[in-house]
Chain A
């Protein structure tokens, strides 16, 4: 199916549009060039009956087939009604201009395809070209929204027959793009095919209530209800913070009281709550640094005020705005001067940049990245650092949201160059980086075989980069560190490294930036980084 796919194949009834062939995936460097297990688990017959997997045999959403022709008709009509709203200045003022521009002016030159890590890693599967989703959408619009004359549709090759399965495939395909926007970066016409993925997700969510449950029910809905997408309540947060304080004392001998709900503090720090659950050492490191540097800061226990995630940025404008507003309300109620976002890429983009055109009045509280502050602390000498404590190979992963999507490139590099003698870049890096493969919510989507897909396909280019960055020290006995200042990227690395056995085969650990800073603190008795896989 890889070669010579026609657009019409997307609507072919039954069967599977694309098959991921392990032999065609882009080769990885040794020892990962020979995977023993099949890269992506096959779905069971029962799963296939229950969920549509006719796109590529992988399921992120898993729509259930309609029970009757009437149900199918209603489904299609609802989608088309949503599609019309996408072009309404009332319903979609948020993205009308960039979306319209892309659909009207993309010339399908395919320059973007060669920039897409998923397309490249898949062995150039046509189905993953960044132009595929917009093309299907364009055809649906031509026939069912604009109702163009059949002859014009022939002239523009924009004919399509819409049925439930085509829409189910389109919904799945919208979740094969990590929204890294590398495709948009190379477009000479200013088009953004990644945005089209997001807008398709939006129609399904805002009109039809369809989204991966990890993003919606267990994500933004849960965050607005209990306070965090992890399900962590304010009471649980306080327990975890007690644990974190004990851990800090045990590791460093320092008694640090983490400030919580401190009225009038200078800065509200909001972490991705995933850190509390999976990587508490990141919180510990932040607390140690800010305490040592004498920063006047606090955490919040308000709804959404202790979880910087905002999954709406990937699929739903309304959910996005709700979370952004709750986060600002938390800051407002504490009376802080500014909000600082911890190490989380999408939270940076969502909270600092995207929310900038949602928050007004007293909710428009200044928001910034933690990285310039950390840079100032490290480079100013406010804390004493000994780089020799970090004398192991370190490379830096650039979270797309933080770097390509908001231009924070240099501070993290200046920190690493100061404290890591063996720092080396991946290629390409900076604003041309490759996505970790877990972007746009993929890192948290656990549906059936989707985690296999994101390790085998969407994260493949990144793994290749990491292995190549350490090619001079391949031995697993030499411990190496991938600095990833982003919780979602770390989640992807955790799963992908586990999938390939990277810790065992190459001795590569992943972690945040603040852990490296604390590890270099000269007055700590023992290393902060514990070289253990978790």
Chain B
């Protein structure tokens, strides 16, 4: 069993990293789109009231300072706070946030476990009575992140189906996949919660598990911890098939769509890109569109509306 979880864990991590990467790269490789910005744009100087550089006369002659750090912090903050939900649907938020916190913390917990195992290989003793202060800090940080992950994840997974069934709009748009996810995630977090509270109150087994992963040595663990780890590995493999990439793509959408206010200045890089896009072929079949021509041709010369297909 110890060997199985080592193999499965490696497979799960490689799988999720590869598929997430493929999805994010595919997202980023889509062509430049027409500007579709929406205000407030957070990197703008007057973002507090939603103002843009267009408020200046002859804006193209003025500096347009961008505060990218502010945008980044704003978008990351919402992963941990979900302000719009807090403002607009407090009940939903009160379950959705713990559900998401559970996810973020369980991933964080495992990453920290990895570093803890590396530190242990380096000779650090991790525990409440560790001789080294770093060992004691590691112990409490792991206990905190793991505990928060199991508690909030379980709470969120229990509450989400209730709130989805109770709310008319959410219920109308619910799909079997939603309820499957809630149940599956409940099993993942619930098994972890039980293993922690009943069998492994110091979360020592996860350090043993990660030590085994790094040294490729099958660890000896409690059956419930093994069950949780197996479920968690399957969870990692399943995630790319859900909309979970939104943790990343929502930030991309903010930066590359909602806040994309980069002007196309004459002679610039954008202008060259647009020139290339206007060379792409059009195959729309509407009578006012000359199929087979490039965008540049379709919107200038022969594509005038009075030129009917078949007559041109």
Contact = CB atoms under 8 A, between A and B. Distances in A.
B63 interface: no
A190 B250 contact: yes
Interface stretch (A19-27, A317-325, A490-498): A317-325
Interface stretch (B4-12, B13-21, B80-88, B103-111): B80-88
A359 B59 CA distance: 17
Given A101-B253, A403-B39, A409 B180 contact: no
Nearest to A97: B30
Interface in B25-50: 27, 30-41, 44, 46, 49-50
A155 B180 contact: yes
A5 interface: yes
B299 A131 contact: no
A145 B46 CA distance: 43
Interface stretch (B162-170, B195-203, B206-214): B162-170
A91 interface: yes
Chain B at the A interface: SS class: loop
Given A81-B285, A430-B49, A189 B250 contact: yes
A88 B295 CA distance: 14
Nearest to B75: A190
A104 B89 CA distance: 23
A354 B34 CA distance: 6
Interface stretch (B150-158, B223-231, B286-294): B286-294
A405 B37 contact: yes
- Size bracket, chain A contacts: 35 or more
Interface residues of B, number: 88
- Name the residue among A108, A357, A403 with the largest chain B CB count within 10 angstroms: A357
B284 interface: yes
Contacts of B94: none
B33 A96 contact: yes
Interface stretch (A35-43, A228-236, A283-291, A369-377): A369-377
| Most chain B C-beta atoms within 10 Å of own C-beta, residue among A114, A190, A411 | A190
Interface string A356-399: 11111100101011011101100000000000000000000000
B57 A157 contact: no
B256 A97 contact: yes
Contact of B38 (A3, A88, A404): A404
B60 to A, nearest CB: 5
A4 interface: yes
Contacts of B44: 407
B299 A321 contact: yes
B165 to A, nearest CB: 13
Given A105-B250, A405-B38, 16 more contacts: A101-B252, A101-B253, A104-B243, A105-B245, A126-B169, A190-B252, A209-B287, A316-B286, A354-B36, A358-B274, A366-B58, A369-B54, A405-B39, A407-B40, A407-B46, A409-B39
5 contacts: A100-B30, A101-B249, A184-B38, A209-B287, A322-B299
